[in-house]
Amino acid sequence: MTETLLLALVVVTALAFDFTNGFHDTGNAMATSIATRALKPKTAVLLSAVLNLVGAFLSLAVAATIAKGIVDAGVVTLPVVLAGLVGGIVWNLITWLFGIPSSSSHALVGGMVGAVLAAVGTSGVLWTGVVSKVLVPALVAPLVAIAVAGAGTWLVARLTRGVPQEVSNRGFRWGQIGSASLVSLAHGTNDAQKSMGIILLALIAGGAVPADSGVPFWVILSCALAMAAGTYLGGWRVIRTLGKGLVEIDTRQGMAAETSSAAVILLSSHFGFSLSTTHVATGSVLGSGVGMPGAKVRWGVASRMFVAWLITLPAAGLVGALCHWMESAIGGAAGTIAVFVVLIASSAAIWLASRRKPVDHTNVNEAWDEEKGATVEAVAATTGEAGGERVAPVPAAATASSVGAAIESVGTVSVPAQGSVQS
């Protein structure tokens, strides 16, 4: 009975991670289409949700990588899986709170690796798989995306010289809808599978399926639905940073960026790489700015994002390790339940902090002011009120001092006052 309860908690937590992955990564597909107004915000997230759902059924290569290519399934227990998932979820929520496009994939891998290290030491981690399937793609993918998007944008700019802007915008908006749809489909083929892999790992650890089992259909369906639901919720804070914070994008750049992202993500899914779609999408947006003559790239915003990328694996790993130590200290099912309660409390605290200055479909396209995103004090001194956003420290158990301090140094997201409405 206890084992069944623990397995149920792990499955629910894995689906919760899929949900956070959905709204955290919606911007990867739809931020540029929303920024250029090729699609209305609510229409964009609905379209992305449907295509994420479809994409989840198209490939299972990444699920196999997560389940059997990162950690030794033979030493993994249900408490270890739960601790790793909590590490991934908490990091997802913290970076979402600050509007930082961070990798859900690396948060999950970091959480799992940290929990396994705390449980059995370095022998439980398949370091070859971590390096070849996670770290190498993490370094290469953004660079490839920047190069591909930069070349594509430059070519499009050359071909459309002399074409009236209103004519160009009309044609490329339709192109953006198609390319953004392709990114959403590609995202489903890659990211939805990560929770499938984790649930399969839990089922193996709990003895529900044999070690050589494939992913059951009910796991595929539930993960696809959780991802789609999170996508429809819309990660507006991250969408705003990707769509407005890095580059002022026009429809030509948007189409080039989205097409580049889709190509790189689909290629990685084919080879089973646990790729960060966030890294690819961000690289493509930066490439669209590099390749467009006269475009301004906000490298200050990009550098803060890069810092967050560097600390994602160790930060999520630290949370996963601390959660496993808590489980061990309390002992038995009580320790696992305690970690689950901490996850709920932390998530609630982060959500309440986000309500202080909400970002949604009504203000996601407000003009970006980098100075407003710097500090609340600077804005208050000139306007008399906090036009930017500052978020109180997150009381998330083990993350409040270590992880919270790291994120505070990365920066905050600019949220202008809600004056104009984008329907």
3 state SS of 125:
strand
Residue 181 and residue 28 in contact, taking contact as beta carbons nearer than 8 Å: no
d(CA 253, CA 64): 35
Exposed e or buried b for every residue in 223-262, given b needs 16+ CB within 10 A?
A: bbbbbbbbbbebbbbbbbbbbbbbbbbbbbbbbbbbbbbb
Rounded to an integer, the average pLDDT of 181-206 is 80
293: its two tokens:
């003559």
d(CA 411, CA 29): 23
Pick 379 or 32 by higher pLDDT: 32
| Span of 54-58, 153-157, 186-190 with lowest mean pLDDT | 186-190
Looking at residue 392, what is its pLDDT?
A: 40
Looking at residue 65, what is its pLDDT?
A: 60
Looking at residue 172, what is its pLDDT?
A: 84
**CB atoms < 10 A from the CB of 391, how many?**
20
Rounded to an integer, the average pLDDT of 234-258 is 87
The top-scoring range by mean pLDDT among 145-149, 183-187, 209-213 is 145-149
pLDDT grade for 59, boundaries at 50, 70 and 90: low
- pTM of the entire predicted model: 0.80
d(CA 110, CA 125): 11
pLDDT grade for 29, boundaries at 50, 70 and 90: confident
3 state SS of 37:
coil
**pLDDT digit string, tens, across residues 369-380:** 765 544 333 333
Q: State the burial class of residue 210 (Cβ atoms within 10 Å of its Cβ: 0-12, 13-18, 19+).
A: exposed
pLDDT grade for 215, boundaries at 50, 70 and 90: confident
User: Would the pLDDT of 198 be above 60?
Assistant: yes
Looking at residue 420, what is its pLDDT?
A: 38
Looking at residue 395, what is its pLDDT?
A: 42
Looking at residue 312, what is its pLDDT?
A: 93
Pick 281 or 398 by higher pLDDT: 281
3 state SS of 50:
helix
**pLDDT digit string, tens, across residues 126-178:** 888 888 878 888 888 888 889 989 998 898 888 888 788 777 777 788 888 88
Q: Which residues contact 239 (CB under 8 A, 6 or more apart)?
A: 26, 27, 30, 31, 34, 41, 364
Rounded to an integer, the average pLDDT of 383-401 is 40
Average of per-residue pLDDT values in the chain = 80
d(CA 400, CA 61): 36
Q: Which residues are bridge partners to 247 per DSSP?
A: 297
Question: How far from 386 is each of 374, 390, 415, CA to CA, in Å?
Answer: 11, 8, 10
